[in-house]
Amino acid sequence: MTISRWTVGPAVGISAVALAACTSIPPPPTPEAAQIKISLSVSRADAYQRTVAAFVAEGLNVSSGSAEGGTITTVPVDAAQMVPATYRATIVTIDSQTVVVLSGNIRNNSGALMAQAMTGLKPDAPEFPLHSAMKGDLGKAWQRLERVAARLRGT
């Protein structure tokens, strides 16, 4: 069996597109760039309620949360086409200060579908942390987290 350049050419082109789709999400420049920390002079219970309210005010619905555990997770929302974002908050007490740590992640469903189309296998969609260096639609997803932080700070 002979493979012609008409067979190889499109396959190479599709491979290049798939590789670009899978690698177009940059990693955070530092671990700190993937989270926002807000110190509040309130109890953990009050910080929990304020954080839930800040998420809701930004149009984010809470899928799970625990005031006792100090965790909140939102329902995934579209950050880009086929790339949902999930936002999280962890509330801890450090030296009599309540600290809310905001973060988020995105799931690259489009990259997984491209890989499935190329290989016939169904890979899990890779997840990446949201971070401050993201641009375009993903940058807008990070800005949404910054607006949640601003609401918590009262600015």
> pLDDT tens for residues 72-92?
999 999 988 878 999 999 999
pLDDT in the model for residue 19: 37
Share of the chain above pLDDT 90, in %: 59
Contact 123, 116 (CB under 8 A): yes
pLDDT at position 10 over 60? no
pLDDT at position 18 over 50? no
**Strand segments (E) across the chain:** 36-40, 62-66, 71-74, 77-80, 83-94, 97-107, 127-129
pLDDT at position 124 over 90? no
pLDDT in the model for residue 8: 43
The domains of the chain are located at 34-111+123-153
pLDDT at position 99 over 50? yes
Q: What are phi and psi of 65, to 5 degrees?
A: -170, 160
Which residues pair with residue 127 across a beta bridge?
A: 107
How high does pLDDT run on average in the chain? Answer: 83
Q: What span, in angstroms and rounded, lies between the C-alpha atoms of 111 and 114?
A: 5
Q: Which is more confidently placed, 14 or 43?
A: 43
Counted residue by residue, the chain has a size of 155
Least confident of 7-11, 16-20, 33-37, 98-102: 16-20
List the CATH code of the domain at 34-111+123-153: 3.30.530.50
pLDDT at position 119 over 90? no
pLDDT for 26-65, tens place per residue? 788 888 999 999 999 999 999 999 999 999 999 999 999 9
Q: What span, in angstroms and rounded, lies between the C-alpha atoms of 54 and 71?
A: 14
- Full-model pTM: 0.78
